[in-house]
Structure 1
Amino acid sequence: MAHVLGQNQYGKAENRIVRVHRGSTRHDIKDLNVSVALSGAFEDVHLAGSNANCLPTDTIKNTVYAFAKRYGIESAEAYGILLARHFVDDTERGVVHRARIRIEEYTWERIRTPDDNARPVGSEEVGHSFVRSGQEVRTSEVVYDGESVQVVSGLKDLVVLNSTDSEFRGYLKDGYTTLREADDRILATQVTARWKYGYTGRGDEAQPPWNRCYTQVRRHLLEAFAGTYSYSLQQTLYAMGTRVLDHRAEVDEVRLELPNRHHFLVDLEPFGLENDNEVYYAADRMYGLIEGTVHREGVVPVIPVA
């Protein structure tokens, strides 16, 4: 029986890189985890043991670092596009047909000192000390096939909580249902969001302002979460995706994964105490997982389920 080589790719995963942009008195840093995957004419590498079309993964790693120095890192998206185009367009003999660049970005906040607070308004900020910001991670995925670019940005591990303005009742019940209806509950989740841009990289199409777009999408996700009276986490998910599409014309599709971080009221009656929605037990597992995509009418969604 004949065997056939199916879809395949290779690359260098999790290249950890910190790029320091050094001003005269102020430094800026980009802290990234970059993974590269290449697809193309690699059949002989697998079937015949010929490495003639194989770009070493060590070369891929070196390119990631060299491009950071040569071009800087203004944004994860722009940096990913540079890498993807290079591997497809510049690799000898055009053996690479498709490049996928996945980037996680870890944010750092500048540590301010008493001297910073004493500086005159308008003076240049001095700063070369940073503290890592929370758990939240910025993500980006760039795919280039030689003709067009697809950019999917996102974030993960963004933990949010509403202490009221949430209820859950009127749901389907059967013989195994024990959950009590709640008309005032804590709603908490750990947001994973991904959004696809309409940008294709064709012709002289200008790139969106990636950093500003990220900041604004994140803001609209948070504002929708905070501003929606929630009858279910599903309803909140739709409100979050809709608000992004309403306010960011460059975004075509938003996919959200919202695990329900359950908070259960603690029974304090054995101690002679009332618990008027004040003391909760925070359960980290098991949890409900709510997932969904919101996209513009006429747009075919492409972001896969994680």
Structure 2
Amino acid sequence: MTTTLGQTQYGKAETRVVRVTRDGATHHLKDLNVSVALSGAMEAVHLSGSNAAVLPTDTMKNTVMAFAKKYGIASAEDFGLLLARHFVTAQTSIHHARIRIEEYAWERAPGGSGHSFVRRGGEVRTAEVAFDGERCQVVAGVTGLVVLNSTDSEFWGFARDPYTTLPETRDRILATEVDARWRYAWDGTDGTDTPAPGWDDAWARARGDLLAAFEGTYSYSLQQTLYAMGSRVVEGSTADAAVDEVRLSLPNRHHFLADLAPFGLANEDEVYFAADRPYGLIEGTVLRDGAEARLPVTG
């Protein structure tokens, strides 16, 4: 029996870096969790144990810290692009770099000191940057974005079999925790005449489009809402930050009417039991016409 080495990669996962920028008495925070994955001409380390082509993962951690000092962190996407290009161009054995970043948001404390912050909820901004020496791929996203509509949602007319017990409803709570990723058309190959998009503005616009579509869609199914959300992001993107693909994963956070009859109480769509599991999981991709699907089905 013979074997062949397949695709490999290695890197440093989850380097936490917090960058403080001091503008007089007013401070600014960037709080990132950075994961680096590299691949290329590194077969020898697997086949013979030679480390000659292997950049230590500790060096990757140090590079993240040093780049945060040298260049600052304009945005998660900008920082990822800096790192990806550095690793590919600095080592001949490295042909491809993928940088995944989670950004944790902080808000200013209400006292107005300029240096006190409060961590914002469970929502996390994400960015994934890949570079192969010629082209970039930038994927932005958000996880942990919990949303709920207390009406304007129905679910009826569904298929039935002998095991179906779910009643139809013409008015229900629709709630989900949005996990969304969107891929930009920009790939960095147009030269200096076409600068990178303003990533912060592009991310904020896409997040706003997700929320607007969720709020504004009278929903007959979470699948319908998913398509409306993805379409809104693609159609709302601007020419300099055009979005070609949106991948959404939407767990259906079920809310069931509580049975209050044993207590002699009527429940007229007022009191619900929020079930955390099991839950429906709706996933899908929305593409700009003519665009190619590249985002994986699972994260």
Query: In the TM superposition, what is the alpha-carbon distance from 1:246 to its structure 2 partner?
Result: 1.3
Query: In the TM superposition, what is the alpha-carbon distance from 1:20 to its structure 2 partner?
Result: 0.5
Secondary structure, aligned partner of 1:86: helix
Partner of 2:102: 104
Partner of 1:47: 47
- What aligned pairs does 1:138-149 form with structure 2 within 5 A after superposition? 138-149=125-136
Q: Is 2:187 the counterpart of 1:200?
A: yes
Query: In the TM superposition, what is the alpha-carbon distance from 1:275 to its structure 2 partner?
Result: 0.7
Partner of 2:171: 184
Q: Which amino acid aligns with 1:178?
A: T
CA contact (8 A) 1:112 1:127 kept: no
- From 269, 278, 289, the counterpart of 1:277: 269
CA contact (8 A) 1:170 1:181 kept: yes
- From 253, 261, 268, the counterpart of 2:245: 253
Q: Is 2:66 the counterpart of 1:79?
A: no
Partner of 2:279: 287
Q: Which amino acid aligns with 1:245?
A: V
Secondary structure, aligned partner of 1:191: strand
Query: In the TM superposition, what is the alpha-carbon distance from 1:32 to its structure 2 partner?
Result: 0.5
Query: In the TM superposition, what is the alpha-carbon distance from 1:268 to its structure 2 partner?
Result: 1.1
Partner of 1:223: 212
Q: Which amino acid aligns with 1:15?
A: T
Partner of 1:239: 228
**For the residues of structure 2 that align with 1:278 and 1:191, how far apart are their CA atoms?**
25
Query: In the TM superposition, what is the alpha-carbon distance from 1:276 to its structure 2 partner?
Result: 0.7
**For the residues of structure 2 that align with 1:110 and 1:213, how far apart are their CA atoms?**
22
**For the residues of structure 2 that align with 1:2 and 1:237, how far apart are their CA atoms?**
46
Secondary structure, aligned partner of 1:258: strand
Partner of 2:14: 14
- What aligned pairs does 1:79-158 form with structure 2 within 5 A after superposition? 79-91=79-91, 94-113=92-111, 116=112, 127-158=114-145
Structure 1 segments, 4+ long, off by >4 Å, are none
**For the residues of structure 2 that align with 1:216 and 1:15, how far apart are their CA atoms?**
28
- Measured against aligned partners, the alpha-carbon deviations of 1:273-293 in whole angstroms (never above 9, x if no partner) come to 111110000000000000000
- What aligned pairs does 1:170-181 form with structure 2 within 5 A after superposition? 170-181=157-168
TM-score (norm 1): 0.94
Partner of 2:295: 303
**For the residues of structure 1 that align with 2:249 and 2:173, how far apart are their CA atoms?**
18
**For the residues of structure 2 that align with 1:185 and 1:261, how far apart are their CA atoms?**
12
RMSD: 0.8
Secondary structure, aligned partner of 1:184: coil
Paired-residue identity, %: 65
Secondary structure, aligned partner of 2:144: strand
**For the residues of structure 2 that align with 1:105 and 1:226, how far apart are their CA atoms?**
25
Query: In the TM superposition, what is the alpha-carbon distance from 1:101 to its structure 2 partner?
Result: 0.2
CA contact (8 A) 1:237 1:258 kept: yes
- In the alignment of these two chains, the number of paired residues is 293
- Measured against aligned partners, the alpha-carbon deviations of 1:10-54 in whole angstroms (never above 9, x if no partner) come to 010000110101111211100000000000011111111111111
**For the residues of structure 1 that align with 2:26 and 2:188, how far apart are their CA atoms?**
33
Query: In the TM superposition, what is the alpha-carbon distance from 1:272 to its structure 2 partner?
Result: 1.4
**For the residues of structure 2 that align with 1:128 and 1:302, how far apart are their CA atoms?**
41
- Tell me whether 191-200 or 245-254 shows the greater mean CA deviation: 245-254
For structure 1, the residue ranges without an aligned partner over 5 or more in a row are 117-125
Secondary structure, aligned partner of 2:230: helix
- Measured against aligned partners, the alpha-carbon deviations of 1:44-74 in whole angstroms (never above 9, x if no partner) come to 1111111111101111110010000000001
**For the residues of structure 1 that align with 2:94 and 2:229, how far apart are their CA atoms?**
38
**For the residues of structure 1 that align with 2:106 and 2:247, how far apart are their CA atoms?**
26
- Tell me whether 255-264 or 267-276 shows the greater mean CA deviation: 267-276
**For the residues of structure 1 that align with 2:202 and 2:94, how far apart are their CA atoms?**
30
Secondary structure, aligned partner of 1:302: coil
Query: In the TM superposition, what is the alpha-carbon distance from 1:171 to its structure 2 partner?
Result: 0.6
CA contact (8 A) 1:165 1:230 kept: yes
Q: Which amino acid aligns with 2:195?
A: A
**For the residues of structure 2 that align with 1:246 and 1:43, how far apart are their CA atoms?**
43
Q: Which amino acid aligns with 1:158?
A: L
Q: Which amino acid aligns with 1:79?
A: F
